[in-house]
Structure 1
Amino acid sequence: PVRPPEERPDWALTGAKGREPNIITSLYLGAENLERVNLRLQAKLEEIAANEVRWKEYSTEDADLLLVAFGTVGRICQTVVRDARRAGMKVGLLRPITLWPFPSARIAELAEQVRGVLVVEMSAGQMVEDVRLAVEGRCPVRFYGRMGGVIPLPDEILPELEELDAECR
C-alpha cells in the first residue's frame, strides 16, 4: 500500500484524526501483525453480531408452528399466519431483517416453544440452512421455495404448513 508522507501540511485533510488511517489491503506481512489485524477484525465482527441483528415477529407468543421468511415472502407469510389462525392453527412468523448477523439466538428460543418450523423463500433455500443450524434439531425444519421470480402465494404455503402440522403431532 502507498502511505502518505509522515509530514503533512496542517491544511491537508487526512480523514484519520485520532485513529489509524484505513488502508485497504489484503497483505499483512509478519505473523504478529497478521494476528493483530485478525483479532481486531474478530472483535469488530462480534460487536456487529451483538448490536446489529434485527428481526420482526408476528403472533409468536403462543405459536405451535413457526414460519421463517424474509423480504417479500415475509410479508406474504403474515397473510398465511392470519389465515392459519382463522382456521384454528397457532402459527407465528419470524421475519429476519438482517440476514447477517442472523437472528439465530431468537430462532433457537422459539424452537424450544414450537413443534415445527417452515422456512419459505423465493429461492432454492439459501436461508434454510441458517435456520437448521439455529434450531439444532429441537424440532423439524421444512422448506418451501419458489424460484425464477415465481412468488409463493398464501394458498400454496398454507397446505405446506398443514402438512408440517400433521407431521409434528
Structure 2
Amino acid sequence: KYKTIEQEEPRYEGYRLEHAQMVVVGYGIIARLLRTAVDMARERGIPVGLFRPITLWPFPKEKIDELTDHTYGFLVCELSTGQMVEDVRLAVNGWTPVEFYGRTGGMVPSAEELLRQIERFWKELDVNA
C-alpha cells in the first residue's frame, strides 16, 4: 500500500523551471513570496525556478532527482527550522548543493529578502567560473 501511495500521490507545482540552473524550494505562504522573488531574480538574469511540493508525504523526490540533471543548486526556504530541507538533501543524494534559509516565530520574510538570499546563493554557486 505504501509503495502505491509513494508512486501515485506525490504532488508538486513547478514555476519557471524551464532552463532553471538554480531551484528554490518552498511550500505554504513562503512559496507565494518565492514566486515573486523568482520573477525578480529572472529580471536580473538569474536562471532560477520554483519547486513547490504540495504533498510533503510522500515527498516528490523523483522530480527533485530529475531537476538535478540541469541544476547547480537548491535553496530550500521555510518558515520553520528545516523540516523539509532533509527531504531535498536525500532526494539530490549529494549530486547538487542544498542550502537552507529559514525563519521562525511568525517572522515572514519579504520577497526582496528572499531575492537577496537567491542572489547570495547564486554567487556562492559561482556557475560562471
| Letter of the structure 1 residue corresponding to residue 2 of structure 2 | L
Match of 2:70 among 113, 128, 142: 113
Q: What are the equivalent positions in structure 2 for 1:76-87 lying under 5 Å apart? A: 76-87=33-44
Question: CA–CA distance in 1 between the matches of 2:90 and 2:109?
Answer: 24
- What is the Cα deviation at residue 166 of structure 1? 1.1
Question: CA–CA distance in 1 between the matches of 2:32 and 2:88?
Answer: 18
Question: CA–CA distance in 2 between the matches of 1:106 and 1:152?
Answer: 27
Task: Flag the structure with larger Rg.
Answer: 1
Structure 2 unaligned runs (5+)?
none
In structure 1, the residue matched to 2:110 is 153
Aligned-residue Cα RMSD (Å) equals 0.8
Secondary structure of 2:99's counterpart equals: strand
TM-score, L = length of structure 2:
0.94
Question: CA–CA distance in 1 between the matches of 2:116 and 2:95?
Answer: 23
Matching of residue 60 in structure 1 with residue 17 in structure 2: yes
Secondary structure of 2:51's counterpart equals: strand
In structure 2, the residue matched to 1:165 is 122
Count residues with an aligned counterpart: 126
Q: What are the equivalent positions in structure 2 for 1:30-109 lying under 5 Å apart? A: 44-109=1-66
Question: CA–CA distance in 2 between the matches of 1:125 and 1:152?
Answer: 15
Structure 1 unaligned runs (5+)?
1-43
Runs of 4+ aligned residues of structure 1 deviating over 6 Å after TM superposition are none
Tell me if the contact between 1:107 and 1:135 (Cα under 8 Å) persists in the aligned partners. yes
Question: CA–CA distance in 1 between the matches of 2:95 and 2:26?
Answer: 19
- What is the Cα deviation at residue 110 of structure 1? 0.6
TM-score, L = length of structure 1:
0.73
